[in-house]
Amino acid sequence: MSLHTAITVPFVISVGLFFFVCGFFGNIFNIIIFLKSDINNPSIVLLFTSSCFSLIYLLDGLLTRVLAVGFGIDPTRTNLIWCKTRTYIGQTSSLISLTCICYAWCDQLFLSCQKQKYRRLSHFNRTKVAILCIILFWLVYHIPFYVLAQHVSSGNQTYICNVYAQYEFNKYFAYFHQPIIAAIIPIVFIVVIGILIYKNVSLLRINHRRERAQRNLTSMILVQTIFIIIQTVPYGFFSMYLAVTSYKFKPAYRNEIEAVITNIVSILYYFSHSFSFFIYYISSSTYRQEAKQFLIRMNTFRANRIFVQTTSNSN
């Protein structure tokens, strides 16, 4: 029995489907709860946008990977347009979601400052413009991913969808995009901003002013950021390894081991996108209250609907 059959397929089907179901319904809950919250709050609108693109990322990336690896349903092998589109949407939605989290950190930094002129930088209209710029930037940035994605022969008259078949782009992808843009820059940015927020909050506590301001939002973003860092490091650096060694001859057993690791780290990369609802629920008392109220309203609506149907049938 091959490693692919023994490890990859059951892992992708079980863990991948579990991640997808949790992420699909979790992000829908996030979107609904944020819409019913103070959507004019800059941090909330950033988390709302992040949840929307996380949902897109799960549908485009995780679901298609589960279908391809677990059930052998992979249209990217036969349809070049879908090969390009899936690559483009997946890369773009992932970084838009991540960038919104990073900007949410900036918003928390502005709010934690003692000087009013810095707190004014946290403004709803400014945040809307920033979100639009983030989306447009990554849409334009990833155009080469769409253009260069192509079918590459994998033998036996079969093809795989490959985004770094071009040697020059492979070097850029290996040495800059994956390790620097998708991993190191977000992690360093989040750590630096987090330290600055901690210092500002410490000063607020000393002065006994605005100690509780934005505490729940900060906790939500902090916990999610920890999981983003955990999932990003192995995926980023293993992707760099694959790109760097893609032109080297590898024996069959090494290719098989790398394929198994690729699928495992790729599935784990969806962790924060899949479990953001639970992250927010655990880390924020305000979010828990909103979620509980939403679930109560859902149960009440369902009970009323069943009662109406029962009454109609009895009549």
pLDDT tens digits for the chain (315 residues)?
577 778 889 999 999 999 999 999 999 999 998 888 766 788 889 999 999 999 999 999 999 999 998 898 988 888 889 999 999 999 999 999 999 999 988 988 888 887 888 888 888 899 999 999 999 999 999 999 999 888 887 666 677 887 766 777 878 887 888 888 888 888 888 888 888 887 777 666 544 444 554 566 777 777 888 888 888 888 877 877 877 777 778 888 888 888 888 888 889 889 989 998 998 888 877 788 888 887 787 777 566 665 556 565 555
Residue showing tokens 């109220």:
293
Looking at domain 3-297, its CATH architecture is Up-down Bundle (1.20)
Using DSSP's 3-state secondary structure scheme, residue 29 falls into: helix
| pTM of the full structure | 0.86
Q: Give the residue from 92, 179, 99, 173 showing the smallest Cα distance to 131.
A: 99
CA 263 to chain centroid, in Å, comes to 17
Confidence (pLDDT) at 118: 82
Q: Give the residue from 143, 134, 135 showing the smallest Cα distance to 169.
A: 143
Domain residues of the chain, as ranges? 3-297
Confidence (pLDDT) at 182: 84
Question: What's the DSSP call for residue 161?
Answer: E
